[in-house]
């Protein structure tokens, strides 16, 4: 009988401390699409991580029927919000907040950058919409999640301190695929890899200059999308034929390109750090690739800390080309393994999920929000 009573007490304790909650993740476009941009990579990593922690998570998106992401994460039409089944919803980008309708429970809203009435200049065409979304977040959200302290300062300056701000940076996988055959082929040229989106016309100009300067010695390879037309691209800004373009590739394939490249290039969208949080830095360092990154990029502290790469002065092509030459001639290979281990341990998606779980539980239980 005593053993049975102990069992009942333990069962009751487990029930009280159970991490169970049901979370709806609001995404503004179809998450079942095959390309693997950082928006979908992050969505899948966070939702997968929640489910692996025993939390019931579903993606709610403008889709017509139910589906599954990676065979694990349920995707539901937005009408599922009407069920009242979710303890909390999390939005992912500015437009997501407009999809929550009259949802009455805690709302966690994440945005990438805080827009004001002047900056970033490249957001001019969508400024009115983005400001309206931020006002809705201010009025309806329980918490705003940002990637970095630069954007937290901007939020506080614009909206005050009434809404809690939590920082959840970008992450990287704790485990990546082993290196396979060289996907760049047997040519003798070294590889300068640009991963991600071209999000400003200046990026195209700079990549073209790099490709021309190193012609015959190193080749620029571009994996991602050219989105510069969304941010005021001017006539004549097209990539040089010297640049090899792949488009978007599955994330599992991209790691092999990172493992066989010689430099991972990161270019700023403009001169303001708040507008330059580059997820590609995490990927380069996690894959053991020396990064060459422009001055305003806020993630450059990781390059300094690990020693795997160099930074160059903003908009200084001479400095860029000189440091690219240095990395090609004398790569910091002695920093490679320690950097890969550091990124996996300290900056994995699992670490980011930990922060979200604590945040969600605090909001659902109406408890103080813990420090990350």
* Nearest one of 141, 265, 238, 19 to 257, comparing CA atoms: 265
CATH 3.40.50.2000 positions along the chain are: 21-171+348-364, 190-346
* Nearest one of 195, 91, 186 to 141, comparing CA atoms: 91
Question: Is the Cβ–Cβ distance between 11 and 252 less than 8 Å?
Answer: no
59, β-bridge pairs? 25, 75
Please tell me the predicted confidence (pLDDT) of residue 6.
35
Please tell me the predicted confidence (pLDDT) of residue 263.
98
239 contact partners, CB below 8 Å, separation of at least 6: 198, 204, 207, 208, 222, 226, 245
Please tell me the predicted confidence (pLDDT) of residue 234.
59
What average pLDDT does range 31-46 have in this prediction?
A: 87
What average pLDDT does range 96-108 have in this prediction?
A: 94
Q: What is the DSSP letter of 348?
A: B
pLDDT digits (tens, 9 = 90+) for 54-82: 999 999 999 999 999 888 899 999 999 99
**pLDDT of 5 higher than 50:** no
pLDDT digits (tens, 9 = 90+) for 167-214: 999 999 999 999 999 999 877 799 999 999 998 889 999 999 999 999
191, β-bridge pairs? 219
What average pLDDT does range 155-166 have in this prediction?
A: 97
H helices of 261-316, in order, are: 279-286, 300-306
pLDDT digits (tens, 9 = 90+) for 272-311: 999 999 999 999 999 999 999 999 999 999 999 999 999 9
**DSSP sequence for 139-187:** HH-SEEEESSHHHHHHHHHHHTTSS-EEE----B-SS-PPP-S-TT-S-
Question: Is the Cβ–Cβ distance between 147 and 168 less than 8 Å?
Answer: yes
Please tell me the predicted confidence (pLDDT) of residue 17.
37
Residue, of 222 and 32, whose pLDDT is higher: 222
Tokens of 1: 């009988």
Q: How far apart are CA 113 and CA 130, in angstroms?
A: 10
Candidate from 17-21, 227-231, 252-256, 307-311 with smallest mean pLDDT: 17-21
Residue, of 346 and 238, whose pLDDT is higher: 346
Question: Is the Cβ–Cβ distance between 230 and 81 less than 8 Å?
Answer: no
What average pLDDT does range 239-258 have in this prediction?
A: 95
Q: How far apart are CA 127 and CA 133, in angstroms?
A: 10
| Band of residue 20 on the pLDDT scale cut at 50, 70, 90 | confident
Average pLDDT, the chain: 91
Fold of 21-171+348-364: Rossmann fold (3.40.50)
Backbone angles phi, psi at 241, to 5 degrees: -65, -10
Please tell me the predicted confidence (pLDDT) of residue 18.
42
Fold of 190-346: Rossmann fold (3.40.50)
Please tell me the predicted confidence (pLDDT) of residue 19.
53
Q: How far apart are CA 120 and CA 366, in angstroms?
A: 35
**DSSP sequence for 35-92:** ---HHHHHHHHHHHHHHHTT-EEEEEES-SS-EEETTTEEEEEGGGGGG---SEEEE-
Tokens of 186: 């047997």
Integer CA distances (angstroms), 198 to 6, 12, 269, 350, in order? 61, 54, 8, 28
Question: Is the Cβ–Cβ distance between 172 and 348 less than 8 Å?
Answer: yes
């Amino acid at each position: 009988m005593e053993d049975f009573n102990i069992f009942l007490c333990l069962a009751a304790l487990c029930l009280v401390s159970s991490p169970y909650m049901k979370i709806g993740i609001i995404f503004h476009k179809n998450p079942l699409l095959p390309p693997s941009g950082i928006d979908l990579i992050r969505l899948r990593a966070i939702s997968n991580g929640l489910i692996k922690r025993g939390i019931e998570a579903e993606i709610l998106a403008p889709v017509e029927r139910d589906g599954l992401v990676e065979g694990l994460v349920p995707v539901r039409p937005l009408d599922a919000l009407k069920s009242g089944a979710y303890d909390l919803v999390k939005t992912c980008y500015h437009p997501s907040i407009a999809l929550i309708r009259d949802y009455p429970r805690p709302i966690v809203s994440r945005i990438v950058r805080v827009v004001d009435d002047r900056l970033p200049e490249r957001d001019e065409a969508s400024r009115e919409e983005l400001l309206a979304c931020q006002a809705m977040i201010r009025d309806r959200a329980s918490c705003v999640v940002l990637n970095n302290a630069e954007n937290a300062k901007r939020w506080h300056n614009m909206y005050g301190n009434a809404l809690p701000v939590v920082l959840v940076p970008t992450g990287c996988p704790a485990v990546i695929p082993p290196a396979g055959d060289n996907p760049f082929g047997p040519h003798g040229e070294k590889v300068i890899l640009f991963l991600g989106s071209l999000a400003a016309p200046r990026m195209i100009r700079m990549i073209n200059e790099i490709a021309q300067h190193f012609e015959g010695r190193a080749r620029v390879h571009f994996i991602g999308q050219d989105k510069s037309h969304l941010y005021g691209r001017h006539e004549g800004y097209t990539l040089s034929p010297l640049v090899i373009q792949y488009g978007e590739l599955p994330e599992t394939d991209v790691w092999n390109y990172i493992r066989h490249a010689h430099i991972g290039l990161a270019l700023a969208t403009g001169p303001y750090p708040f507008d330059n949080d580059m997820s590609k830095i995490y990927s380069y360092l996690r894959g053991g690739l020396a990064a060459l990154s422009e001055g305003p990029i806020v993630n450059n502290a990781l390059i300094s800390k690990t020693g795997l790469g160099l930074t160059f002065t903003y908009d200084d092509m001479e400095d860029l080309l000189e440091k690219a030459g240095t990395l090609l001639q004398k790569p910091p290979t002695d920093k490679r393994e320690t950097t890969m281990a550091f990124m996996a341990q300290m900056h994995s998606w699992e670490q980011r999920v930990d922060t979200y779980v604590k945040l969600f539980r605090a909001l659902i239980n109406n408890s103080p929000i813990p420090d990350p």
